[in-house]
Structure 1
Amino acid sequence: MTELPEATPRPRTSLDELLAELNARLQTELSSRDRVHSLLEAVLSIGRELDLGTVLRRLTPAAADLVDARYAGLGVIGEDGRFSEFIPVGLSEEQAARVSRFPHGEGLLAVPTRERRALRLSDLSRHPGRHGFPEGHPPMRSFLGVPIQVRDEVFGNLYLTEKRGGGQFDEDDEAVVTALATAAGVAIENARLYEETRRRERWLSASTEITTRLLSGDDPHDVLGLLARNAREMAGADIAVVLLPEARGHELVARIADGPVAGQILGTPLAVSQTACGAVYRHGEAVTIPDLRHADCPMLTHRGFGPGLLVPLGTPDRTRGVLLLAKKGVSSPFGATTRHMIDAFAGQAAVALELAEARRDAERLVVLEDRDRIAKDLHDVVIQRMFASAMTLMSTLRLVDAPQARDRIQHTIDDLDETIREIRSTVVALQTPPTRSDYSLRGRILDAAEGAARSLGCQPGVRLEGPIDASVPEQVAEHLLAVLGEALSNVARHAHATEVHVSVDVDTHVTLHVSDNGKGIEPCGRRSGLRNLEERARDLGGTFSAEPSLAGGTLLRWSVPLPDRAEEAGSTARSDQSDVRQNTLPSGSTIL
């Protein structure tokens, strides 16, 4: 057999080299096309959103997918140049829980912000600005950081680390992430403008509603509750508290709260001289607190609240209170835009409160002017005419010989005298408005008589004379009302009366008369209730008596002095009566 020669290797031709180069270029073009396609999808994904939070949450994983990075992070830069928020990608919940703290935006991470350009490193541990990883942080080597610019402002930075397969980030990776960051800047600007527009719309709507309700006469407490709820929602806070000063001005008290723990906060006092809330109240300037857990705020410090915002209600010259807003846990602090918006909102609400108070004062002034006019008309016209009529009847009485006619005329004169006394009491009440802001003593006496009408079976007649609201101190007033209630209760239980009369006279003493036409006091009846009334009078240095009435039934008299106001009361009474005491009937009855 003839042996065949061994096969020799075929020489590599230029055609094979061209085919290999063509295949490599095709793979590169396909990879570039896929990457461009992925970039366009990422741009469209973040560009169609108008919610800023959604844009940021989509941007970070999209950047990691484009360059095959295992870990990614987005740091949002706050007012102080540090991160106000950090969004990590690639860490599981367990890994994230092990990290003691997330970056603050210093050292190596601040380079893209400071130089406004991308930073690409093969080993970030060799960079001089590296501060090291916190406890629990996974190891990282390759690094790519790209700034996100919104117009001329650096909004934040995109960070990508640990390229899959152990490779390094190249120029193409840098170009792709830079392009994505540029598109993200536009999307973030649109989202911020949209969010600001919605916030302003909400602010205008809430301000209009608050102003309208205040000027319509709604309760200011309810309107402040509406203010707290709207402020909390607009600022994205978890709790809103309205702190108002107590009477002495030494403390601020949580009068209104809106949020999950509102019920636990209401009524909590804060010292004006020792707290941040007190400083805002004194100086009238808004303050941002990074973390309430390390601040002196007793009502929120121990409840896990983090960022806080304190806004004065009113102007620096007249601060009416403080609005406190807070977020739960580790959250981004309140930004400058939010602070200015809430400050303006609270200021406008305070102006509305001022206008509402001015309107109420004007209405009160009109009422007081009407009361004064009516009192003058009663004093100068009605009483004088009745006095003239009484004097005419007195003159006529001398000319009448028939006893029956004389008795009828005298009875008419007595009725006129009593009517003049009642009108005089009304004049004093109109000219002396209540000194207490809650409720006048006159009103409480009338209410007590009105409330006893059902148990009495008849409507008591009430006569009030003298400066009751101006001269009777609260301590005496409480005793007076207790005695009146006990007296009316005794009449209802024991007297079986069809007529009951109540009179209160105030001069240097306050004197209460309660009379009825019932069966009178039983000689052997129980006297415990009467002893209580006597003790109340004795404790105040006064007197008490319960005697049979001339017209039948019982006359109860309870009288106590007003030592602190005796001179003032006498002076007032003399001033009120100086022009009328000279006009008296021959029988001694005072006309006015």
Structure 2
Amino acid sequence: MPRLLEAMRFVGAGLGLHTTLDRIAAIAAGLADAHCAVVAVLPEDGEGKVEYVFHGVEEETRDRIRALPGGHRRMRQVLARSHPAAGADRHCMDVAIRVHGALFGMLCLAKKEGGGEFTAKDVTLVRAIATEAGIAIGNSRLYEEASQRERWIDGSVAVTTALLTASDADEALEVVAQQARRLSDSAASAVLLPAGEGGLEVVAVASDRAREVLGRIVPPSSRVVREVLAGRAVFLEDAATHAWMTDSVARSYGPTMVLPLQSDGRVLGALITQRLRGRKPFTRADRTLATRFASQAALALMLADAQRDRERLAVYEDRDRIARDLHDLVIQRLFATGMMLESAHRSSAQPEVRTGVEKAVDELDVTIQEIRGAIFALQQGPAERQPGLRARVLREISMAAVPLGFRPSYRFLGPVDTVGPDAGKNLIAALREMLSNAYRHAEATRIDVRVDATVTLEDGRRGVRLSVADDGVGIPLEGRRSGLANLERRAESLGGTSWRTSGTGPGGRGTTVLWQVPVEAE
């Protein structure tokens, strides 16, 4: 009896489930003087494979037991055949292990010391150990479930923090995938968001094969996509058999959870976690906790979007205020300064003073136009994500400054960034051609670029005019003519025109090339 009490205390000493099962097998074998002990653990949800914990069992016998089609029901027969007195019932015994009244598994012993049979006393001892084991396993399950819930909660907190504080949304989504992979003990996890074609696009991956998966679109015809977009989770035993992603990557995975990122009835995307083929399936607890994690991640996504919307709104409100201040204060003061200079110009009798004042007034006009352009740029809405026409023109000017050896001057008039995409794309190509011609043929020391979006065409439509003026040698007989022809064809294709004037610079030198099209293509 003291030996049994000591064994029972030792059984309940551990909290980890696997450690507890190892102890049960070893202690039961020791009490019954058995060489072999096996604990067959039934699948928690009634489906899936039986798991085994072995003590004193040869590897060959372990393999035969694992391969049994009947699971634990035929385990006793295999152990009995491994004993010299094969077939004798009393050379093996098995006892049920129950946890909170429910069958957890079977404890089977074989090969008693000296080749004898198990006695009634052995059966009583093992049953007592099985009863104590049920209590210990129940405690271990509670401990592991509590630890598992704590890990998932910590993961949810990490995801929420990342989504609310990250400046890069892609990095935050990668945190979601990484946490899901770690918490679910998976080989791969991914976040999918709705694609333009109606399916789901893989936007973040935590996997050793991320490059093969990132950017892939799961089509809307997939059953999995339909289920997830309807707000229902999908659990698969073998990802490849359901052909939701038919490639070599999918065929390497087995147990799979596809969870909707859903909050307040709105499906934002999906979270996928996958274990390698042959690994144990996700338990009921795994599924429940992962589903809660996905809901928490979806809520964090919505909160992060709302926070970014508020930040963007604050930025646009600030930009509107700056635009109003520029228009109501700065421009008015510049106008007043210009009027004062014009008054000084009229009252001055000295030619050099008058010339200087005229130049100052011209510079003020240019400054006012540039401020108006900046005001318009500040008032643009959030939908414009690509660089505007103004930015692309400035980029071309900066690129041309390197071969030219100086930076061309520039001036913008009107709402340049409202020019349509076709007109803008061709204007940039025309500007590149003009600057290239000036570099190769004009021998210029000064180039002035002007983009005017206030032009009214002959048919009444609004147009945009690009002009590039240089102080070079003019148009040679050979050289720029082919480039000018290209400019004319490009403008005509958009319903516009292109022309040139010569002798526009000091001493009759220089050339001005003009290119004009409607701001929107017909």
- TM-score bucket (shorter structure): 0.7 to 0.9
Q: Say which of 190, 205, 211 aligns to 1:241.
A: 190
- Give the alignment of 1:370-519 within 5 angstroms: 370-387=318-335, 390=338, 411-433=359-381, 435-473=383-421, 475-507=422-454, 508-519=462-473
Q: 1:477 to 1:49 in 2, by over 3 A?
A: farther
Amino acid of the structure 1 residue aligned with 2:203: R
Amino acid of the structure 2 residue aligned with 1:550: T
Q: 1:261 to 1:397 in 2, by over 3 A?
A: closer
Q: Say which of 529, 544, 556 aligns to 2:513.
A: 556
Is the CA contact 1:276–1:296 (under 8 Å) kept in the aligned structure 2?
A: no
Is the CA contact 1:73–1:86 (under 8 Å) kept in the aligned structure 2?
A: no
Amino acid of the structure 1 residue aligned with 2:510: G
TM-score (ref. length: structure 1): 0.72
Structure 2: distance between partners of 1:314 and 1:394: 66
Q: What SS does the corresponding residue of 2:208 show, helix, strand or coil?
A: coil
Structure 1: distance between partners of 2:252 and 2:78: 39
Q: State the Cα distance separating 1:233 from its structure 2 match.
A: 1.4
1:52 has 2:17 as partner = yes
The equivalent residue for 1:220 is: 169
The equivalent residue for 2:285 is: 337
Deviation string, structure 1 residues 18-74 (Cα, Å, up to 9, x no partner): xxxxxxxxxxxxxx99xx47x956973x55544333433454465456546677543
Amino acid of the structure 2 residue aligned with 1:465: L
The equivalent residue for 2:63 is: 96
Is the CA contact 1:76–1:156 (under 8 Å) kept in the aligned structure 2?
A: yes
Is the CA contact 1:441–1:477 (under 8 Å) kept in the aligned structure 2?
A: yes
Q: 1:261 to 1:380 in 2, by over 3 A?
A: closer
Amino acid of the structure 2 residue aligned with 1:357: D
Moved more, 378-387 or 229-238: 378-387
The equivalent residue for 2:236 is: 289
Structure 2: distance between partners of 1:140 and 1:560: 98
Amino acid of the structure 2 residue aligned with 1:303: R
Deviation string, structure 1 residues 309-367 (Cα, Å, up to 9, x no partner): 12222315222211111111223221232223223333333333322222222222122
Is the CA contact 2:260–2:267 (under 8 Å) kept in the aligned structure 1?
A: yes
Q: State the Cα distance separating 1:94 from its structure 2 match.
A: 8.0
Structure having the higher Rg:
1
Deviation string, structure 1 residues 191-222 (Cα, Å, up to 9, x no partner): 33443444344334433333333333431211
Structure 2: distance between partners of 1:525 and 1:537: 20
Q: How many residues align?
A: 503
Amino acid of the structure 2 residue aligned with 1:74: V
Amino acid of the structure 1 residue aligned with 2:369: R
Identity of aligned residues (%): 38
Q: State the Cα distance separating 1:240 from its structure 2 match.
A: 0.9
Structure 2: distance between partners of 1:170 and 1:326: 48
Deviation string, structure 1 residues 146-177 (Cα, Å, up to 9, x no partner): 33233454433324468788876543332222
Q: 1:385 to 1:62 in 2, by over 3 A?
A: same
Q: 1:438 to 1:344 in 2, by over 3 A?
A: farther
Q: 1:435 to 1:331 in 2, by over 3 A?
A: closer
1:542 has 2:496 as partner = yes
Is the CA contact 1:252–1:278 (under 8 Å) kept in the aligned structure 2?
A: no
Q: 1:102 to 1:255 in 2, by over 3 A?
A: farther
Is the CA contact 2:500–2:513 (under 8 Å) kept in the aligned structure 1?
A: yes
Structure 1: distance between partners of 2:445 and 2:88: 102
Structure 2: distance between partners of 1:122 and 1:351: 53
Unaligned 5+ runs, structure 1: 1-31, 110-119, 126-138, 566-592
Q: 1:88 to 1:295 in 2, by over 3 A?
A: farther
Structure 2: distance between partners of 1:164 and 1:102: 30
Q: 1:403 to 1:525 in 2, by over 3 A?
A: same
Structure 2: distance between partners of 1:306 and 1:431: 53
Q: Say which of 32, 50, 74 aligns to 2:39.
A: 74
Q: 1:384 to 1:81 in 2, by over 3 A?
A: same
The equivalent residue for 1:319 is: 267
Deviation string, structure 1 residues 70-128 (Cα, Å, up to 9, x no partner): 775433334433455421644634872797554457xx69xxxxxxxxxx999999xxx
Q: 1:563 to 1:454 in 2, by over 3 A?
A: closer
Moved more, 550-559 or 483-492: 483-492
TM-score (ref. length: structure 2): 0.81
Unaligned 5+ runs, structure 2: 81-85, 455-461
Is the CA contact 2:7–2:27 (under 8 Å) kept in the aligned structure 1?
A: no
Amino acid of the structure 2 residue aligned with 1:80: D
Structure 1: distance between partners of 2:140 and 2:444: 80
The equivalent residue for 2:137 is: 188
Q: 1:548 to 1:290 in 2, by over 3 A?
A: same
Structure 2: distance between partners of 1:122 and 1:561: 89
Q: 1:291 to 1:147 in 2, by over 3 A?
A: farther
- Give the alignment of 1:20-39 within 5 angstroms: 36=3
The equivalent residue for 1:8 is: none
1:210 has 2:177 as partner = no
Q: Say which of 300, 304, 309 aligns to 1:356.
A: 304
Structure 2: distance between partners of 1:83 and 1:177: 27
Structure 2: distance between partners of 1:492 and 1:190: 83
Q: Say which of 72, 87, 93 aligns to 2:52.
A: 87
- Give the alignment of 1:273-284 within 5 angstroms: 273-283=221-231
Q: 1:529 to 1:71 in 2, by over 3 A?
A: farther
Q: 1:158 to 1:373 in 2, by over 3 A?
A: same
Structure 2: distance between partners of 1:497 and 1:308: 68
Q: What SS does the corresponding residue of 1:221 show, helix, strand or coil?
A: helix
Q: State the Cα distance separating 1:258 from its structure 2 match.
A: 1.5
Is the CA contact 2:494–2:521 (under 8 Å) kept in the aligned structure 1?
A: no
CA root-mean-square deviation: 4.0
